[in-house]
Chains A and B, each alone.
Chain A
Amino acid sequence: MQTPTLIFDHVGKRLSVISAAPARKKLAELARSKKHLATSGRPSK
């Protein structure tokens, strides 16, 4: 099964449905982004 990836863009106000390969590329780019830090609520633990 080819599972789609859903992108809910609340800035552009649209839902995009993309396939696995471009989705992996986009998610990898976001994971490498240094614009913010995402953690659990207790990042030092």
Chain B
Amino acid sequence: MNVDWVIPCRYLEVHENLGTIIGAGIDTYWLPELPQTISVVLAIRLLATPDELDESVEHRAINRVRDPHGEQISEVGGEFSMGGGESARPDWLTGIILPSLVQIEVTEEGTYTIEYELDGSSKSLPIHVVHGLPPGVELPDEG
């Protein structure tokens, strides 16, 4: 199984293995206060052979986070399986849209790195953290 692409976004829904992605391209988080936990939504596209998508096949997912100094600050991983289903042709690679959420405690301004690894295939992306809000922007109370 290979990680084809990873798109950070605001929201993602998957129906019939097709993704509806809202706010694609998010890469900067403006935080009035630090430290704070941020939630990064990722739309992941995987490429797999049909046998790899069998419900009995376990996959290993690992997520690593590096701080603005390049030091790995956290690693979380585990096993999961896909929900079965039919591919169009048994000899074709099948694309799967896999929603993922990464929750990170950020403590300082700078560029963090999220590495997404699945069955040994990986992609990395930068997430910028700014302490403060853009000029003229105020966050409403959550109420």
A8 touches B97 (CB 8 A): no
Please report A residues at the B interface, Cβ cutoff 8 Å.
1-15, 17, 20, 23-24, 26-28, 30-31, 33-41, 43-44
Please report B residues at the A interface, Cβ cutoff 8 Å.
10-14, 17, 22-23, 25-32, 36-39, 41, 53, 61, 63, 65, 73-74, 76-78, 80, 82-85, 96-105, 128, 133-134, 137, 139-142
30 A-B residue contacts at CB 8 Å?
A1-B82, A4-B80, A4-B82, A4-B98, A6-B98, A6-B99, A7-B100, A7-B103, A8-B63, A10-B63, A10-B104, A11-B103, A11-B105, A14-B76, A15-B77, A15-B78, A17-B78, A17-B80, A20-B14, A30-B101, A31-B10, A34-B139, A34-B140, A35-B142, A36-B30, A37-B29, A37-B30, A40-B28, A41-B128, A44-B134
